[in-house]
Amino acid sequence: MVVEAKTRINLREISNKEDKLAPGHRLCLGCAEGIVVRQVLHAIDYPVVVCSPTGCLEICTGLFPYTAWRVPWVHSAFENAASTIAGVEAAYRALKRRGKIEDRVIKFVVFAGDGATYDIGLQWLSGALERGHTFLYICLNNEAYMNTGIQRSSATLKWTWTTTTPVGKVIPGKKESRKDMTAIIAAHNIPYVAQAAPHAWRDLMTKVRKAIAVDGPSFINILCPCVRGWRYNSKDTIAISKLAADTCVWPLYEVDHGIWRLNYKPSPQRPLTDWFLSQGRFSHLVAPDNANLVIELQQCIDQEWAKLEKLCQCFAD
């Protein structure tokens, strides 16, 4: 069964609703996480319970004694957001069965960073997905541990500058390739997995609606450009997000009940040098000495893209 989005999204209509993330939170200016969280929560028409593990979003929205959340929100440790939301969901089901709580549709959502998803919380997340709790897990992927000071994570692209992979004369940045988390989650055979970015807001919000409509776990990996860590001007957040899709660094696709579908095909595909020129964290790659690294990375990205295209073609009518 392929899930269809409930209704078409009308921006003017939803703009009259109150934000579930209140202003006054302390995310950096131009932070994509604020944009993504607002888009996601506006796409969900049901009451929600949110859980955030440690990360940028958690420290900026839940700085005691302030909270920016207008929905019930739980902070858990770095690794166990998936277990926490699974517990909340199981408790709700149990209380409902015993008639101790009002029976209504409640959606359970996790907002986690890439460190909490790719590295620290992978085992917990994998467990919760396998047990089949009904929740939506959203990874706000800013490609490094930004809240502690731009340390590399396994979501960081190869040859990227971070504070723990400094660029020197011998080693030009992070030596390891990033891992394909969305494909790892898709391999759990859960009902809905997707990859999205904030510039494609209709695509993102439709994916959220599809994800909460399924019975079982769902996962969306969302790119969140980071002004401080990626070294660009705060006004360019959405433009950088679009560039990621156009250079195929961040393909937009979904795996709906096992069916892979490409949501956006850039025409023409922009060269990776455009991506490197747009951000300060790649400034060393623009130097002529490192031209071989750019060629190597372009080959990697092209190969990943070709693989994804072929996979999606297998399921095309």
Site map 122..141 versus another protein, x via CB under 8 A: --------------------
Q: Is 77 in the site for another protein (CB under 8 A)?
A: no
CB atoms near residue 118 (< 10 Å): 23
Q: Please tell me the total number of residues recorded for the chain in this structure.
A: 317
Q: Distances in Å between the alpha carbon of 129 and those of 110, 122, 193? A: 13, 10, 11
With respect to another protein, which residue has the nearer C-beta, 52 or 165?
52
Distances (CA, A) of 155 to 91, 116, 151, 178, 304: 33, 11, 11, 5, 15
Sign of CA dihedral 279, 284, 287, 293: negative
- The DSSP element (H or E) to which 112 belongs, if any, is strand 107-113
Q: Which of 13, 102, 215, 289 forms a contact with another protein (CB under 8 A)?
A: 13
Number of H helices, E strands in the chain: 12, 8
Can you state the angle between helices 32-43 and 201-213, rounded to 10 degrees?
A: 50
Residues 33-62 binding another protein (CB under 8 A) are: 33-35, 38-39, 61-62
| Residue 235 lies near another protein (rule: CB under 8 A) | yes
| 236 in contact with another protein (CB under 8 A) | yes
The least distance separating another protein from the CB of residue 231, rounded to whole angstroms, comes to 15
The binder of another protein chosen from 8, 16, 268, 288 (CB under 8 A): 16
Q: How far is the CB of 191 from another protein (least distance, A)?
A: 28
In the list 148, 163, 164, 234, the residue contacting another protein (rule: CB under 8 A) is 234
Nearer to another protein, 75 or 210 (CB): 75
Q: Report the alpha-carbon distance of residue 315 to residue 304 in Å, rounded.
A: 17
Nearer to another protein, 31 or 185 (CB): 31
- What residues have CB less than 8 Å from 100, skipping those under 6 apart? none
Using the CB atoms, write b or e for 236-255: b if 16+ within 10 Å: bbbebbbbbbbbbbbbbbbb
Question: Given the rule CB under 8 A, which of 29-37, 131-139, 213-221, 303-311 is the region that contacts another protein?
Answer: 29-37
Site for another protein in 184-203 (CB under 8 A): 198, 201
Of the candidate spans 68-76, 122-130, 160-168, 169-177, the one that interacts with another protein by CB under 8 A turns out to be 68-76
Least distance to another protein, CB of residue 181, Å: 24
Tell me which residue has tokens 């800013």. Answer: 142
In the bound state with another protein, the residue whose beta carbon lies nearer, of 12 and 98, is: 12
Question: Taking the complex as a whole, how short is the minimal distance between the CB of residue 23 and another protein, in angstroms?
Answer: 4
Residue ranges that bind another protein, judged by CB under 8 A: 11-13, 15-16, 19, 21-35, 38-39, 61-71, 198, 201, 227, 233-239
